[in-house]
Structure 1
């Protein structure tokens, strides 16, 4: 019996060792509303960063990749999210008195957007399926 269990353990271990970890697993296991919020944050960062920078391009590509892992209403959702980003991204903030006045706080604007009740509400509106479901729930193996 021990030899059989040991053999089974070795077979299972070798099968699992050959599997690659899914780099998108964390997104597939988040509620769709959370994916919308994360996508919006990435899109906001892409829009406020220097458009010629690799960072802006990376943030935009990350946002687009997240969109593929949820039942997102592309026809209406993109315009609504961009309108909300535009509402938040232009605000100028006063920082500590030692900081230069030309600092706008663009990252802070994106973070304010991320934590806003407006985005919480919009995240549910732009989804075509149950907002609390995850990709994994809707697509089991």
Structure 2
């Protein structure tokens, strides 16, 4: 979709939801990432916090809106009609990443602890290399 698409951008974010919607004719080849940068200029919401959703003009149910999740995809991938509305919502992108990082850290810590316990167990059983040999030699 290389043609122009009539897009009405509407902010649902708390700080800018009072601002008027902005209508633009944009190239369908424009990426979602570029659209987010435009939204940042219009509404002042950081790109990393934006969640964009697309719906046909006239659809009143917000649940019908499709998330525009991939920043690298062209708008035409999500916007299927000549006239569409893009809803900008505020999401907690950073918090999701923090959650993932925390989960990863706790899994790694658990693995280390398991490895330590296994090592401790083998020391107690006398499995560590050389222990039996040394003990055997000393016993003779």
TM over 0.5: no
TM-score normalised according to structure 2 size: 0.22
Higher Cα radius of gyration:
2
Q: Please give the TM-score of this superposition, normalised by the length of structure 1.
A: 0.22
Structure with more relative contact order (C-alpha pairs < 8 Å, separation 6 or more): 1
